[in-house]
Amino acid sequence: MRQFLTTSGHCFLLYVSSLAGFQEPDKDAKGRTVLDKSAAIFRNVLNLDGVDECTVMIFFNKQDRFEEICRDLLGNENGDGKRQIEKLLGVAPKLQIAGNKKNKPDNFDYLKDSIRNRFKEILKTHNDKKSYYMKYTQATDAQLMSTIFYAVENEIISAFFTQARYL
């Protein structure tokens, strides 16, 4: 891993995880979700040699799909969806009474934050002084992801030419 680090001290780890994977079963391990697997992979990546020198950027993708899944689960009349969300995220969904309507969730920020906090805890256990950036993105946020990949690629290419020597 150290061979990919720049000498200028500008090293980044870009990690993308799906918010929508919070209730999707992992095909490789029974009793684990895709989000649990992503968190475990993230923990393993942080253990790699040299990563402690990197700034971490985490993008929680598929925000729109996450909200759609939560809306569907909370629309369940018998309360199973609410219990499932609480079991998987460790946070009880907040409901508000809105006029004549049935209980309706106000927003899903606190549910997304429970996922964000899971990754923050992993970061803290590895190095609580490590700088990091976290952002929620949508599946359709291709422009943002493209810009980030371009910036990272440009940084790598610039560093390569800066360190190049004439023969």
Binding residues for GTP: 61-64, 139
C-beta of residue 141 within 8 angstroms of C-beta of residue 148: no
Q: Helices in 12-108 by DSSP H: which ranges? A: 34-46, 63-74, 80-89
| Strands of the sheet with 12-18, listed across from one edge | 12-18, 55-61, 132-136
Q: Tell me the CA distances in angstroms from 158 to 15, 51, 52, 56, 145, one per residue in order.
A: 22, 20, 22, 20, 20
Please report how the helices 109-126 and 34-46 are oriented relative to each other, as an axis angle in degrees rounded to 10.
30
Point out the annotated binding site: 61-64, 139
Token pair listed for 6: 């720049």
Q: How far is residue 95's CA from residue 101's CA, in Å, rounded to a whole number?
A: 12
